[in-house]
């Protein structure tokens, strides 16, 4: 495939192909704005029962020709089409109706709502929309309200049902237009989209915003930043789903990390001596309930973490694996993984310490019992004589 040279200057043909984006003009572009919202509703969703309850479908990862059959989710999430007419884009884009919306249910207790907004806009208008999407609070609340009835219907098939206050949102600007040199010719514009910023950015900020980029062929491009991404490709359903899953995984890691923080604080309180229980009463503290709670926490958190971490199998498709690696890097998923593993190790240390304390208390109680029995025997012997 032929690439244009680096010293190429725009011509009339370039403008016909899309216009000089850096001037803020050009012909309207056909774009699909993808919004993804992730929520947590419990420890585990029984997907088989949810499939029957919601009349959904078992969702498999969309495949390109190069993707092996066995690559995908383990187990596959349940997909349910939903009506999202109440979710409107901000400002003058409020009349753009969503073309498709879907709810995905994952076995580790997460749900993901995706909404697609097809539209035609100039590059400058897209930057304006991106800036408005920098504040997704109202849309997130609308998404939470939209999914609330579905979550209530799922309550019977969710283990430890509890809707978390945490959420994760992500925006993807998808252009189906393929062109050589997307990043080379329009890096400032793409950086504005993924930074959700319509004001000019410095050269260093543009470089950082577009640092994590990937192309499978000269005409396509994936650029991911913290809050938004840019995808230029004609066939990219699998790429978009990988990005969505990374967003869900970020939510789960944050949720697990928060729960470990709360439970560890409670465990520390169990370890500290209780001022109200001193003297002989302190010797009989076996920490039975505390040991059981900490052990359950360790098993529960480790199980949830492993299921969230291993739900998607991408070994064998190097391109999709690299897309996920891009998202993992930008979302700092490895940092969250390391934090969770450290806290799980701390939970194990707390468990060991509680066992040691309980054993120490039992030994002290046994020694006192032996001393009391010996003293009692001596007293009885003296009393008989």
pLDDT at 16: 34
pLDDT value at position 132? 96
- Average pLDDT (63-70) is 55
Q: Is residue 86 part of a domain?
A: yes
How far is CA 310 from each of CA 249, 303, 305, 345, rounded to the nearest angstrom?
10, 11, 8, 20
Give the tens place of pLDDT for each residue, 10-45.
333 343 334 444 435 568 899 999 999 999 999 899
What is the model's pLDDT at position 9? 32
Which tens digit of pLDDT belongs to each residue from 144-158? 999 999 999 999 999
Domain-located, residue 7: no
Q: Are strands 213-214 and 221-224 parallel, antiparallel or unpaired?
A: antiparallel
What is the predicted pLDDT for the residue at 338? 86
Write down the pLDDT at residue 2: 33
Query: DSSP letters of 52-102?
Result: HHHT-EE------TTS-TT-EESSPPEEEE---TT---SGGGTT---SEEE
Taking the C-alpha atoms of residue 330 and residue 172, their distance in angstroms, rounded to an integer, is 14
Q: Which of 246, 269, 299 is the last residue of a domain?
A: 246
Highest mean pLDDT among 61-70, 71-80, 107-116, 297-306: 107-116
Looking at mean pLDDT, say which of 21-30, 219-228, 251-260, 301-310 comes out highest.
219-228
Please tell me the predicted confidence (pLDDT) of residue 49. 92
Task: Indicate whether 17 belongs to any domain.
Answer: no
Q: 201 pLDDT exceeds 70?
A: yes
The mean of the pLDDT values for the chain is 80
**Coil/strand/helix, residue 283:** helix
Whether 137 has a pLDDT exceeding 90, the answer reads yes
Tell me what the mean pLDDT of segment 231-249 comes to.
92
Nearest CA to 111 out of 85, 80, 73, 136 is that of: 80
Of the residues 203, 224, 246, which one is the last residue of a structural domain?
A: 246
Pick from 28-32, 52-56, 80-84, 362-366: least confident: 362-366
- For helices 237-271 and 288-310, angle between their N-to-C axes, nearest 10 degrees: 170
Shared domain for 183 and 289, answered yes or no, is: no
Q: Is 55 left (phi over 0), alpha (psi -120 to 50) or beta?
A: left
Cis amide bond preceding 75, omega within 30? yes
Within-domain flag for 12: no
Q: Do 259 and 216 sit in the same domain of this protein?
A: no
Looking at the domain assignment, is residue 268 inside a domain? Answer: yes
When pLDDT is averaged across residues 197-225 and rounded to a whole number, the result is: 94
Greater pLDDT, 305 or 208:
208
Calculate the CA 319 to chain-centre distance: 21
- Residue 73 — very low, low, confident or very high, per pLDDT cuts 50/70/90? confident
pLDDT over 70 (residue 297): no
Identify whether 8 is part of a domain.
no
Residues 229, 330: one domain? no
Adjacency order of strands within the sheet including 29-40: 57-58, 78-81, 100-105, 110-121, 29-40, 167-175, 228-232, 221-224, 213-214
Domain final residue, candidates 185, 219, 246:
246
pLDDT of res. 100: 87
Q: Are residues 78 and 201 in the same domain?
A: yes
Residues 161-187: what's their mean pLDDT? 93
Q: How big is the CA angle at 37 (ends 128 and 30), to the nearest 5 degrees?
A: 40
Model confidence at 178, pLDDT cuts 50, 70, 90, reads: confident
* Residue pair 326/214 in contact by the 8 Å Cβ criterion: yes
106 and 217 part of one domain: yes
Containing 243, the helix (H) or strand (E) segment is helix 237-271
Q: Residues 150, 97: one domain?
A: yes
Q: In this structure, is residue 15 part of a structural domain?
A: no
Whether residue 20 is contained in a domain is answered as no
Q: How high is the pLDDT of residue 300?
A: 67
Q: How many separate domains does the chain show?
A: 2
Q: What pLDDT is stored for residue 265 in this prediction?
A: 74
pLDDT at 63 > cutoff 80: no
In terms of pLDDT, which residue wins out, 257 or 64?
257
What gap in Å lies between CA 167 and CA 37, rounded to an integer? 7
In the chain, the percentage of residues whose pLDDT exceeds 70 is 72
In a shared domain, residues 105 and 167: yes
Confidence (pLDDT) at 350 = 67
69-83, 87-101, 349-363: which has the highest mean pLDDT? 87-101
Asked if residue 276 and residue 225 are part of one domain, the reply reads: no
Model confidence pLDDT, tens digit, residues 118-130:
999 999 999 999 9
Is the model's pLDDT at 252 over the cut of 50? yes
Residues 201 and 277 in one domain: no
Span 274-300, average pLDDT: 55
Distance from C-alpha of 278 to C-alpha of 211, rounded to nearest angstrom: 60
The residue-averaged pLDDT of 62-87 equals 75
Same domain, 82 and 221: yes
Which residues contact residue 16 at a Cβ distance below 8 angstroms, ignoring those fewer than 6 apart?
Answer: 27
Is there a single domain that holds both residue 192 and residue 132?
yes
Alpha-carbon dihedral of residues 360, 366, 368, 373, nearest 10 degrees? 180
Domain range spanning residue 189?
Answer: 26-246
Question: In terms of domains, do 40 and 179 share one?
Answer: yes
- Over residues 343-366, the pLDDT tens digits come to 877 776 666 666 666 655 566 667
What is the separation, in whole angstroms, between the first and last Cα of the chain?
111
């Amino acid at each position: 495939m032929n690439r244009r040279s680096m010293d190429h200057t725009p011509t009339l043909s370039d403008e016909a192909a899309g216009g000089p984006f850096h001037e803020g003009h050009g012909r309207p572009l056909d774009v699909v704005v993808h919004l993804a919202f992730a929520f947590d509703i419990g420890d585990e969703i029984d997907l088989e029962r949810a499939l029957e309850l919601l009349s959904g479908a078992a969702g498999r990862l969309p495949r390109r020709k190069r993707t092996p059959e066995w690559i995908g989710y383990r187990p596959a999430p349940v997909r349910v089409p939903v009506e999202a007419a109440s979710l409107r884009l901000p400002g003058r884009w409020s009349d753009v109706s969503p073309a498709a919306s879907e709810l995905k249910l994952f076995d580790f207790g997460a749900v993901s709502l995706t909404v697609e907004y097809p539209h035609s806009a100039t590059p400058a208008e897209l930057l304006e929309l991106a800036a408005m999407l920098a504040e997704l609070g109202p849309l997130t609340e609308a998404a939470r309200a939209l999914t609330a009835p579905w979550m209530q219907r799922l309550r019977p098939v969710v283990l430890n049902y509890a809707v978390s206050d945490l959420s994760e949102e992500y925006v993807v600007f998808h252009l189906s237009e393929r062109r050589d040199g997307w990043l080379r010719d329009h890096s400032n514009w793409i950086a504005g989209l993924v930074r959700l910023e319509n004001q000019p950015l410095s050269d260093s900020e543009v470089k950082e915003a577009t640092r994590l980029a990937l192309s499978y062929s000269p005409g396509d491009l994936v650029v991911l930043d913290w809050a938004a991404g840019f995808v230029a490709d004609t066939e990219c359903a699998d790429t978009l789903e990988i990005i969505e899953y990374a967003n869900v995984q970020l939510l789960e890691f944050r949720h697990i990390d928060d729960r470990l923080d709360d439970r560890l604080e409670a465990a520390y309180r169990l370890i500290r001596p209780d001022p109200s229980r001193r003297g002989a009463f302190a010797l009989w503290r076996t920490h039975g309930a505390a040991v059981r709670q900490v052990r359950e926490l360790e098993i529960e958190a480790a199980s949830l973490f492993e299921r969230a971490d291993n739900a998607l199998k991408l070994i064998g498709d190097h391109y999709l694996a690299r897309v996920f690696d891009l998202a993992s890097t930008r979302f700092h998923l490895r940092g969250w993984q390391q934090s969770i593993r450290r806290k799980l190790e701390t939970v194990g240390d707390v468990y060991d310490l509680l066992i040691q304390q309980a054993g120490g208390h039992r030994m002290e109680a046994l020694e006192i019992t032996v001393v009391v029995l010996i003293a009692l025997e001596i007293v009885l012997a003296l009393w008989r004589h």
